[in-house]
Amino acid sequence: MSGDSKIGPVGGIVRTTPLRSVASDAATSARAPAPLPAAADGLPAARLIRLAGGLANQAPPVDVGRVASLRSAIASGSYGVHPAIIASAMIDFHTGGSE
C-alpha cells in the first residue's frame, strides 16, 4: 500500500488509535444535575392549573353568523380571494403590525 499507511483498503476502516473508554459510573453520577427545589408557594401554580383546566373545558369562541355567511358565499361562488389583502395581513401578523 502506498501513500498514507493509516488508510486501509477501500470500504474498510482501520483504527490507528485505541478506542477511548467511557467515563465510569462514579464520574457520571458526580455530574448529574441536582434536583430542582420545590416551589416556595404552590398557590399561584394551583390557580393557573385550575384556570387552564377551566379554559380547556370551554368551547372555542365561534362567530356563528360569520361562519354561516362565509359558507353561503362559498356555496354560491361569490366568495372572492384577494391575495394582496391576505399577504398584507400575513406580513402584519408576522411583524407584529396592526391586525
pLDDT tens for the chain, 99 residues: list them: 455 555 555 555 555 655 565 555 555 545 556 665 565 555 788 888 888 888 888 888 889 999 999 999 999 999 989 999 999 999 999 998 655
47 grid coordinates? 390557580
Among candidate residues 99, 78, 81, the one with its CA nearest the CA of residue 90: 99
pLDDT score for 96? 83
SS percent in the chain: helix, strand, coil, step 5 = 45, 0, 55
* Residue 6 near residue 14, CB atoms below 8 Å: yes
How far is the C-alpha of 60 from the C-alpha of 97, rounded, in Å? 25
| Confidence (pLDDT) at 98 | 59
Residue whose cell numbers read 483504527: 15
Q: What confidence score (pLDDT) does residue 59 get?
A: 84
